[in-house]
Amino acid sequence: MLGPKPKTSFYPGYFAAVMATGIVSTALFLYHRQELSDALMVVTMALYLFLWYRYVARFIKAPSDMWADLTNPATAFGFFTIVAGSNVLGVRFVFAGWVTPSVVLGAIALVVWMVLFYTVMTVLIIGPAVELSSVNGGWLIAVVAEQSIATYLAAMIDVVPHHVEVLFLLSSTFWAMGLMFYVIFIGLIIDRLLFQRVSFNDLQPPYWINMGATAITVLASSRLLSIHVHAQIFLTLRPFLEGVTLMLWAWGSWWIPLLVILGVWKYWRGSEKVEYHPSQWSIVFPLGMYAAATTTMSKIHGFKPLHWVGGEFLWIALGAWILVAALAARQFSTRSHRWNQRQLSERDR
């Protein structure tokens, strides 16, 4: 059975901040902006440790609320940001040459993915029927998690090249599984958007994962295509990987103008205030991932203009990161000021 609604407010997808910061750091690394990349990597590490503290503390203090979020179709998929965040940071560690921490993060991500995936899927199958209104872009974070594992395993081939065939098989397996779930979930999401009434409140930032999931799938397949292995399975899969990679990059690119238009409609016509919410990192991550995926794809396919496109999106992603970080800092400052005022008021009494 689905659990009760949590009594406290806690956003399950907080690790999207790790995903966003980590992928922007990685994209900066790919474009040889070393100092900025290293600075954001440090920020990613700090966020990762802090958020684990927050999640563990909530689990200890309010396990029933955590279970309620995990068994609610509208919020459960947010927990997959833990998997994706761990792998994004793990890949960045591979680029930095920090092998042992990367292996630890990869192991954490795989264990958490197994627990989350089979828990959430079991609850969805044996629990009450899920209403279409519960389906949103956040469901695709499960796809991002699987593709992050595929990307991580492909990156590890550079570290342990003598296991190239095993890692290629495992990476391509997670890539294929993520692709299948993307096809299923995006069909449900488009059904929700086109054939159900959509309000301003429905169009939350996680809908940007519609594009972000394709971008990380492109990144994973592009990494696989860069592997030099003469196994028959690779020779068989290569044409398929190339075709699907180009198709998904085109599909993801198509989403970007539409998501911008829907965002303008939401904030302009809906007259909504632009205030910080942790889900806004779900806008930054797809932009950074699109930049990283595009430049990686350009190297594999030899389509050099894509490298320029990726570079432009890198600065857009960095600008979006700065904006969301500024909104978060402003909210933190406002809350701190209110708390100080409340303390002073209590003292005066």
Indicate whether 239 belongs to any domain: yes
**Mean pLDDT across the stretch 204-226?**
93
User: Would you say residue 272 has pLDDT above 90?
Assistant: no
**209: in domain:** yes
Query: 141 pLDDT exceeds 50?
Result: yes
pLDDT confidence bin for 35, thresholds 50/70/90: very high
Q: What is the DSSP letter of 128?
A: S
Confidence of residue 7 (pLDDT cuts 50, 70, 90): very low
Distance CA 96, CA 155 (A): 12
Range of the domain at 268: 16-348
Residue closest to 25 by CA, chosen among 276, 214, 291? 291
Q: Is the pLDDT of residue 6 over 60?
A: no
Is pLDDT at 1 greater than 50 in this prediction? no
6, part of any domain = no
Range with the lowest mean pLDDT among 94-103, 279-288, 334-343?
Answer: 334-343
pLDDT at 343 over 60: no
Max Cα distance, the chain (Å): 79
Mean pLDDT score, 222-251? 86
Q: Does residue 142 lie within any of the structural domains? A: yes
Does a structural domain hold residue 206? yes
Residue-level pLDDT at 337: 57
Nearest to 270 by CA among 194, 199, 198: 199
Mean model confidence pLDDT for the chain: 89
Instruction: Decide if pLDDT at 8 tops 60.
Output: no
**pTM beyond 0.75:** yes
What's the pLDDT at 287?
Answer: 97
When pLDDT is cut at 50, 70 and 90, the band that residue 341 belongs to is low
Flag whether 2 is in a domain: no
Mean pLDDT of 175-198: 92
* Dihedrals phi, psi of 84, to nearest 5 degrees: -65, -40
Task: State yes or no: pLDDT of 4 exceeds 60.
Answer: no
pLDDT for the residue numbered 156: 94
* Residue pLDDT, tens place only, 49-70: 999 999 999 999 999 999 999 9
Flag whether 303 is in a domain.
yes
Res. 3 pLDDT band, cuts 50 70 90: very low
The predicted-structure confidence for 299-335, as pLDDT tens digits, reads as follows 876 677 888 899 999 999 999 999 999 999 988 887 7
Whether 134 has a pLDDT exceeding 60, the answer reads yes
pLDDT at 5 > cutoff 80: no
- Rounded mean pLDDT of 138-146? 95
86 touches 45 (CB < 8 A): no
Number of domains in the chain: 1
Any domain includes 4 = no
Domain holding 74: CATH number? Answer: 1.50.10.150
Q: How far is CA 332 from the centre of its chain?
A: 23
| 20-29 residue pLDDT tens | 999 999 999 9
